[in-house]
């Protein structure tokens, strides 16, 4: 019994040490390089590394050379088995103003070994609450929107392009 408890203690210590000493900045720049292949560029950001997380402040996101959003704060938790990116204070480009409200308070992106083929997405802001997933293999994006009153009132043309479910949610499906 003592040997088993020592084994688990060593395994937990090794995992925590690996997360603590992992080169978080290098992982972030690797992710940035991978996103550039899809035309997504993150610039003007400040990096702060903590014990287990990496915080990115004041990032500017451009898609295919068009400035698309500004992100006030992003917390990256990269643990290998469970990875999460929390985004706060997202302001979309004015180009999107005719389609969506520009302010998104928070968004979360999660990838876990328990569901390795899907990336979970959640967002909350002036547009309402969005939940969805992106399938890595099929490259299929599926989103469910529970629209806010502002979205229902001011962005009816956008909602017409989405499929309305019986529960009152709006669905968006697209292969990327």
Tell me: the pLDDT tens digits for 69-115?
999 999 998 877 889 999 999 999 988 888 888 899 999 999 999 99
Q: Give the mean pLDDT of 62-75.
A: 91
What letter would DSSP give residue 48? E
Query: What's the pTM value of the predicted model, to 2 decimals?
Result: 0.84
Domain ranges of the chain: 2-175
pLDDT at 134: 96
Burial 64-87 (b: 16+ CB within 10 A, else e): eeeeebbbebbbbebeeeebbbbb
- Reported as a single tens digit per residue, the pLDDT across 116-149 is 999 999 999 999 999 999 999 999 999 999 999 9
Instruction: Judge whether residue 22 has pLDDT over 90.
Output: no
- Residues 33-58: pLDDT tens digits? 998 998 999 999 999 888 888 899 99
C-alpha atoms less than 13 angstroms from C-alpha of 113 in its C-beta half-sphere: 5
pLDDT-wise least confident of 10-24, 40-54, 56-70, 157-171: 10-24
Residue 168's pLDDT is: 87
pLDDT of res. 91: 94
Cα gap 88→70, rounded to integer Å: 10
């Amino acid at each position: 019994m003592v040997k088993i408890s020592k084994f688990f203690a060593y395994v937990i210590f090794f995992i925590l040490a690996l997360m603590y000493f992992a080169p978080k900045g290098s992982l972030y720049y690797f992710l940035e390089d991978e996103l550039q292949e899809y035309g997504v560029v993150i610039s003007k950001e400040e990096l702060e590394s903590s014990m287990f997380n990496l915080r990115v402040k004041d990032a500017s996101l451009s898609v295919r050379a068009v400035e698309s959003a500004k992100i006030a704060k992003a917390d990256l938790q990269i643990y290998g088995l469970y990875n999460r990116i929390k985004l706060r204070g997202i302001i979309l480009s004015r180009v999107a103003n005719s389609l969506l409200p520009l302010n998104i308070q928070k968004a979360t992106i999660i990838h876990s070994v328990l569901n390795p083929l899907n990336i979970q997405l959640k967002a909350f802001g002036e547009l309402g609450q969005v939940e969805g997933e992106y399938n890595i293999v099929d490259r299929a994006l599926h989103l469910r929107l529970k629209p806010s009153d502002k979205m229902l009132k001011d962005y009816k043309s956008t909602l017409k392009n989405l499929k309305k479910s019986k529960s009152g949610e709006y669905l968006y499906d697209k292969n990327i």
